[in-house]
Homo-oligomer: A and B are copies of this chain.
C-alpha cells in the first residue's frame, strides 16, 4: 500500500532542495550536540520516511531516497517504510554501499550535498567533504529544509533551568572556571567554545531538562579570559537562574543566537574547541572566523571532560549515599519480585513501573537516568529490548528477570543491573550466571597502577566467560555523571577500542560501571552490573596504585550461583561483598520481613 503521507512530504522536500540548488539532502539522527537521546523536534528522518529506530540516516535526491540503518532495525525499517518508495540500505551487509560510497557513485561532478550542519558531528562532516572532493561536490550545511516543510513540527524542548548549590556540587562555578582558564592558557587559547551539554552543566552548576533522561539544557558556552557567555533559550531562564547568572558573571544570550554571535566576533585570540563535541556548522563558522581574525583554531579534548569525570570529595560523598539508598530500594524490589512472582499478575512492564515508582519516592528524585530495561527470559538475550505496556511479556515463576535501571537524584546518578531468579533455571544458566558474577567481582577487586586504561582491566571481567567460549558483545564499563548523564567519558572499560574511541586512564574519583553478561539467543540473558569508584591506594617505587570500591550494594541471586564453578577466591569475594551488602543496606530497610530475607539472601556460601 502506498504511503502517500511520506511521499507528499518527500515531494515538498524535493521542491525545497531544488530551490536551494541542493542535489542530495542528508538527514541523520542527532540533535545539535550529539546527545544520546533526541527530542521530537529533531526527528526529521522519521518525518520523511516513517522509520523511528534509534539509528538511521536518510538521503534524498530528486530521483531516489535511501535510508541506512543497522541489523537491529532491518525488519522494523522495512515495515515502517513500506509504500514510501524509500529504499532500505542494510549497513554492514555485503554489497551494500555505505552512505559515502553511495554518494560517491551517484553524485555528479559539481553537484551539491546539503544537510543541516548542526546535526552532523564535525568528524562526519569533514569525512564526507574530503571523500566527495574528488567529485568536486560542494556542501551546503547552513539550511534546515525540514523547517520549511514540516508544518506541525514540535518545538525545541524548552524546560526551566535550575541551579545546584555550591554545597551540593562541592565546587563553585568560579572555582571550576578558573581551572578551565588555566587549561586554556596552557593550550594557548584565549577563547574556548564549548558545545557539550553535560560539560557546560557541570561547569556552571546548572541543570536542565531538554534531553530525555539527561538533566541538561540545550546550550552552548563561549569562554574567554574575562567573560563567560551562555547561550540558552530565554524561556528556560527562571528568575532564580537569572539572578544566579548575574551574581556569578554568566552573560546570557539566546540559544538561537550562537552562530550570529560567532559571525560577529571581532577579536578572539586563538580559539579552542573539541572537534568530537562540536557540530559541523559551528566548527565551520569558528574556522571561518579564525581565518578572518588571523588566529588559530585549536582542536583539543574539552578540558572539562577530565575535570567532570574525576569527582570531587563532596560529589563522592553524595554519590555514595545516593547509591546506598538506591541499592536499598532495588533490594526491596528484588524481594517484591521474588515473593510475588506467580502470585500476582506481573509483566516486564509492570515490574519496571513498580521499581520506577519506588525510586520516584526517594528524596531528591529527579528522573530516571535511562528508560528501565526489564526483560524476561529469552527477551533478556536481546541487547536492545524495550518492553512497552502492550508488548511486555508476562513474568511467570520460571526462569529469570533482568532489570537494568537507575535514576538521577539531587546527589547523584545511578545505574545498576540485577538478574533475578523467579523460578526453575537450568544448570547451564547457573554456570553462566556464576561466571558472570565472578567476572564482575574480579574486576571490582582489581588493584592496578595509575596509567592503566579500561583495556588493561577488561579481561578480569571477561576471562571467566572466555574460558567457556562465551563473550558479551558490549563494553564492560562506562563512566557516569554526577546528577548528569548516565553515560559519560572519557573512561571506558572495553577489550578493544575502535579508532575515535577514547582509551583514557582510570583516575581516582572516576565512577565506572562493571557489567559483564551472557546472552543466549532464544534462551536467556544475564547481566550483573555494579558501579565502582576508582580509589587511590599506595604510592611507592613502582608507581601509584589504584583500586575500586563498590558503590552498588544489592544482593546477587544465590539461587543462580553454583559454587562448583567458583574458585575459593571467587567464593570469598562473593561472601565479602554480600556481607557488605547486608551491613550497609539492612539499616535502610524498614520492613523486618525484607531484612530477614536479605540476611538469608546475603548469607555466606
* Complex interface: chain B residues within 8 A of A458 (CB): 456
A518 to chain B, nearest CB (A): 10
Closest to A543 in B: B471
A198 to chain B, nearest CB (A): 29
For the complex, is A71 an interface residue (Cβ under 8 Å from B)?
Answer: no
Assess the B470–A542 pair: CB atoms within 8 A. Answer: yes
* Complex interface: chain B residues within 8 A of A570 (CB): 567
A509 to chain B, nearest CB (A): 20
Assess the B463–A542 pair: CB atoms within 8 A. Answer: no
Contact (A537, B569) CB under 8 Å given A451-B496, A495-B456:
no
A525 to chain B, nearest CB (A): 14
Could you say which of B446, B449, B537 contacts A471, with CB atoms under 8 Å apart?
B449
Interface size class of A (residues with CB under 8 A): 20 to 34
The A contact surface, by secondary structure, is mixed
Number of this chain's copies in the assembly equals 2
Assess the A463–B446 pair: CB atoms within 8 A. Answer: yes
A552 to chain B, nearest CB (A): 22
For the complex, is A357 an interface residue (Cβ under 8 Å from B)?
Answer: no
For the complex, is A113 an interface residue (Cβ under 8 Å from B)?
Answer: no
For the complex, is A159 an interface residue (Cβ under 8 Å from B)?
Answer: no
Assess the A469–B567 pair: CB atoms within 8 A. Answer: no
Interchain Cβ contacts under 8 Å between A and B, 20 examples:
A446-B466, A447-B466, A447-B467, A447-B469, A448-B459, A448-B463, A449-B495, A451-B495, A451-B496, A456-B456, A456-B458, A456-B459, A456-B495, A460-B463, A469-B540, A469-B542, A470-B542, A471-B543, A473-B542, A568-B569
Which residues of chain A in 519-572 are interfacial with respect to chain B, using CB atoms and an 8 Å cutoff?
A: 537-538, 540, 542-543, 545, 567-570
For the complex, is A431 an interface residue (Cβ under 8 Å from B)?
Answer: no
* Complex interface: chain B residues within 8 A of A470 (CB): 542
Given A446-B463, A466-B545, A567-B569: 12 more A-B contacts, CB < 8 Å: A447-B466, A447-B467, A448-B466, A449-B466, A451-B496, A452-B459, A452-B495, A459-B460, A460-B463, A469-B542, A471-B543, A569-B569
- Rounded to whole angstroms, the CA-CA distance of A159 and B567 in the bound complex is 56
Q: Mark A142-177, 1 if CB is under 8 A from B, else 0.
A: 000000000000000000000000000000000000
* Complex interface: chain B residues within 8 A of A495 (CB): 449, 451-452, 456
A583 to chain B, nearest CB (A): 23
For the complex, is A455 an interface residue (Cβ under 8 Å from B)?
Answer: yes
For the complex, is A457 an interface residue (Cβ under 8 Å from B)?
Answer: yes
A475 to chain B, nearest CB (A): 13
A597 to chain B, nearest CB (A): 31
Closest to A542 in B: B471
Contact (A469, B568) CB under 8 Å given A455-B455, A460-B463, A463-B460:
no
Closest to A494 in B: B456
